[in-house]
Amino acid sequence: MTSRGKRITRRTFMEQIAMLGVLGASYPASLLAQARLDAGRSQPQPDWLKADPWKTLADVQQHLFPAAQDTPGASDIKAIVYLYNSLENPATDGEERKFIVKGAGWLNERVQEKYQQSFATLDTTQQETVLREIEQSRAGERWLSLLLTYLIEALLADPVYGGNPEGIGWKWLEHQPGFPTPPADKTWYRLAAPVHYQRKA
């Protein structure tokens, strides 16, 4: 997992993705297309994604990490599912979750003021303009940095955590993960969950 103590700028993110892209350059586009099909079958769109804040967060992720013919994007790696699972687990910092969720609302408020629309209905240029604006504030920079961090994690994490379905990120990077991968009941946040003992009467 990446460290969330260090902020990631979009420039740093793109540089990291570019370096990863060099590793994945030899991965045929036809195999990536098949991996996308497999990933889509394994994880249908959840109902919660149809409403905010998750819809807006997914749209921001897709803008930050768009897919290309030879590169998986945020939707391919199910970055929003990874983010949702990460923020909903009890081991996550509550303030971080609140900050990310509220950020989607702040973003749409700014978009409504500027364009009288929602972020999802803006074209790519307008979305970029708004994100560049909020990036200028300390809070906006931190919000985007957190989303970028979770994007990198979703690309590289074990599929049991919700992202990287069918190992699409690993396949793109031709990465061989360690074995055995954890079962659903042995994820790090389940193992780290506090145990409450009931006192005897």
- pLDDT digit string (tens) for 17-44? 655 554 455 556 667 777 667 766 666 6
Taking a C-beta distance cutoff of 8 angstroms, is the pair 17, 9 a contact? Answer: no
The pLDDT value given to residue 155: 92
Backbone angles phi and psi of 25, in degrees to 5: -65, -30
Q: What does the pLDDT read at residue 180?
A: 67
**Mean of per-residue pLDDT scores for the chain:** 81
State pLDDT tens for residues 90-136.
888 999 999 999 999 999 999 999 999 999 999 999 999 999 999 99
> Distances from the Cα of 177 to the Cαs of 30, 38, 84, in angstroms?
22, 18, 23
User: What number is the average pLDDT over the span 194-201?
Assistant: 41
What is the predicted pLDDT for the residue at 200?
A: 45
Residue type, 27: Y
Domain ranges of the chain: 45-168
What is the amino acid identity at position 120? A
**Which residue(s) pair with 71 in the sheet?**
68
Model pTM?
0.79
Asked whether the CA dihedral 7, 192, 187, 44 is positive or negative, the reply is negative
**Cross-strand pairs, 68:** 71
Tell which residue, 186, 105, 92, has the closest CA to residue 139. 105
Give the side-chain half-sphere CA count within 13 A for 166: 18
